[in-house]
Each structure stands twice: as structure tokens, then as C-alpha cells.
Amino acid sequence: MLSTIGDLGEFGLIERVTARFPGTDDVILGPGDDAAVIKAPDQRVVATTDMLVEGRHFRRDWSTPRDIGHKAVAQNVADIEAMGARPTALLIALGVPTDLPVAWADEFAAGVADECGASGGAVVGGDTVRSEVLTVSVTALGDLGGRAAVRRDGARPGDVLAVAGRLGLSAAGLALLERGLDDPAACVREHRRPRPPYSEGERAARLGATAMLDISDGLVQDLGHICAASGVAVDLESAALVPPPELRAAAELLAADPVGLMLAGGEDHALAATFPADTELPEEWTRIGTVTPERTGAAGAAVTVDGRPSEAAGWRHFG
């Protein structure tokens, strides 16, 4: 019985994990050679990478290996979507402790495969090394379908700001886990397996989005990137930030402000985009604010809520 990765070995692990990943029409050559071959018919390939490090991004006692497989794909595809692209291929690099149970790798791979099924995109390669700290690094590629990418620098005063996806639930879920709670389950579930609004990024691009990003570090902090790149400010309307009942319930348990969690919570992997004011938004997109001219000077907060500077702080890896 091969019970740990140490017993199975590097190539055994690679074979076992890659056997779980189906190909798609975008892939000419998948895992197994020195590099994979992906179709790029319109010659505009979007590329992104995000890591998950044990202790920093996940804990094995808080998330199952399946959860971590789901999340590793979701957080990367969210960045592909945020450019207005369709995910085509993923490369998965693993840093694995030698005593990791083989069952962990099996379950992780199953989570990756399931989430790829939901998001689109096929695993075409990766890397596997021994490491003291369990680490998952995903690189994702996407196809822009001949369109220009939706960048962070195209927002203009007068545009509307809208979001697709969920805000605050993941941060509430993390805070619950930190207190040893796993209810309200919807929040903890969202933390373990964020659900980016797949295909809404491409849809936003077709609708003429002027700027877009995925919310990984908190709404206010991430909107600051659009403001800085576009030379604009953003005013959020608190009336449009309506916490769902599960978030209100969690906030009450945590003695936290539910709207504060929506403004500052990380790992939402929702999409925020700006659109010309006359854009008819589909129901998946909720208007939450307006783009205004850049404010300069000491009072020049880039992101305000009802005209007042927001104190919401987001995630920072280095304090």
C-alpha cells in the first residue's frame, strides 16, 4: 500500500495526479513532454499566476484537499476572467512534503478537475518538487477571443462601477474558522471554495467594460488599483452594498459590521468592473458606485463610501 508521497515518488505522483485531468479542444499536447502546446487562434494569450502556501493561504485542518484544489483553480481563473478572457490552460506546480498522504494528492487532484469543469480550462502541465511547506502554484492562460484585454487603466469619470459575485462571505468564513466555528455554513463554504462568477468577465468585456479586476485583497483596497491606474476616484453607495442574510448572521456572531466585511474582506474573487453610464447591466452585475475625477491633496482618498473616505483595510502579505 502506497500511503505517502515518499512511498509513491515524484513520477508516481505526477502520473497519478495528471491522470485525473481531462484535456479540452484548446490543448494540442497536454502533460508529459517538456512543455505543453495550446491553441492560440487569435494570438492574444492572457497569462497569470497565484500561489497557495500552507499556513498563509490555507490550513489542512480548515480545508479539505478537495477544497484546496477547487480554490487553487478558482483564484487563478478569476484573474483570467478579470481581463475579459476565457480560461484555456492551467499549469500546476506542487511543493510537497514527503510524508503527505497519497490520498491528499488524489483528493486535491479531484478538486482541481471538478473546478476546471466549472470554470473551463484544462491542466496541461506543472512541476512537482519536495518541499517542507506544502505549496500549490497555478499558472493560468486565457483566450481573449480577438478582443482587447480589459485592463485596470480604462475607467473614466462618469462610468458606473458594478460587481458580479459575492462580497464578504469568505472573510466572514475565515473569521469563523479562526474562532473554531463552522456556521453559518455558507460563509465557511465560500472561504473554502470561492465561486467566481465564471464567464461574467468575458461578458463584461463584450458589454464594453472600461476597467476590471478580481477582488482578492478586499473591495476597497483592490478598487484603489483601478483608481491609481486610471487616474480616477470611486464613490461607493452604501445603499447598494446589501449583506445577504448569512453574512448578517455571521457578522452578528463575530460582533463585526457586515458591510465592513464586504468592503475589506479578502478572497471574494468577485469581479469589479467599470462601464460607460448608459450600459444595460445584466442581473448578474450589481451597480455599487460611480467613477469620479481623481481627488488630489490630503483629502484625496481614492475610494469613498457615500462621499466619505473609507477606512476599510485590505489584505497585505507584509503588514
Ligand X SMILES: Cc1ncc(C[n+]2csc(CCOP(=O)(O)OP(=O)(O)O)c2C)c(N)n1
Ligand Y SMILES: Nc1ncnc2c1ncn2[C@@H]1O[C@H](COP(=O)(O)OP(=O)(O)O)[C@@H](O)[C@H]1O
Which residues contact ligand Y by CB under 6 A? Answer: 50, 79, 216
Task: Tell whether 34 is in a known binding site.
Answer: yes
Question: Minimum CB separation from ligand X for residue 213, in Å?
Answer: 10
Q: Which residue among 92, 267, 274, 289 contacts ligand X (CB under 6 A)? A: 267
Task: Tell whether 315 is in a known binding site.
Answer: yes
Contacted entry of Mg ion, ligand Y, ligand X, none for residue 58, CB cut-off 5 to 8 Å set by kind? ligand X
Task: Count interface residues toward ligand X (CB under 6 A).
Answer: 12
Q: Which residue has the cell 487603466?
A: 153
Contacted entry of Mg ion, ligand Y, ligand X, none for residue 260, CB cut-off 5 to 8 Å set by kind? none
Give the helix, strand, coil percentages of the chain, each rounded to 5: 35, 25, 40
* Residue whose Cβ sits closest to ligand X: 266
Task: Decide: is 174 part of the binding site for ligand X (CB under 6 A).
Answer: yes
Of 286, 293, 273, nearest to 158 by C-alpha is: 293
Q: Which residue among 36, 266, 270, 274 contacts ligand X (CB under 6 A)? A: 266
Closest to ligand Y by CB, 31 vs 224, is 224
Is residue 203 within 8 Å of residue 282, measured between CB atoms?
yes
State the Cα–Cα distance between residues 1 and 196, nearest whole angstrom: 38
Per-residue x/- marks for ligand X, 199-228, CB under 6 A?
-----------------xx-----------
**Cβ neighbours of residue 68 closer than 8 Å, sequence gap 6 or more:** 52, 58, 108, 111, 136
Query: Which of the residues 38 through 57 are near ligand X (CB under 6 A)?
Result: 50, 56-57
Of 85, 97, 103, nearest to 2 by C-alpha is: 103
State the Cα–Cα distance between residues 33 and 52, nearest whole angstrom: 25
Per-residue x/- marks for ligand X, 105-144, CB under 6 A?
----------------------------------------
Alpha helix ranges (H) inside the chain = 5-8, 10-18, 65-81, 102-119, 169-178, 185-192, 200-206, 219-230, 245-254, 258-264
What angle is formed at CA 70 by the lines to CA 91 and CA 32, rounded to 5 degrees?
25
Is residue 128 within 8 Å of residue 32, measured between CB atoms?
no
Task: Decide: is 275 part of the binding site for ligand X (CB under 6 A).
Answer: no
Closest to ligand X by CB, 75 vs 304, is 75
Longest CA–CA separation in the chain, Å = 67
Task: Decide: is 315 part of the binding site for ligand X (CB under 6 A).
Answer: yes
Binding positions are 34, 48-50, 57, 79, 126-127, 152, 214, 216-217, 267, 315
Interface positions with ligand X (CB under 6 A):
50, 56-59, 75, 174, 216-217, 266-267, 315
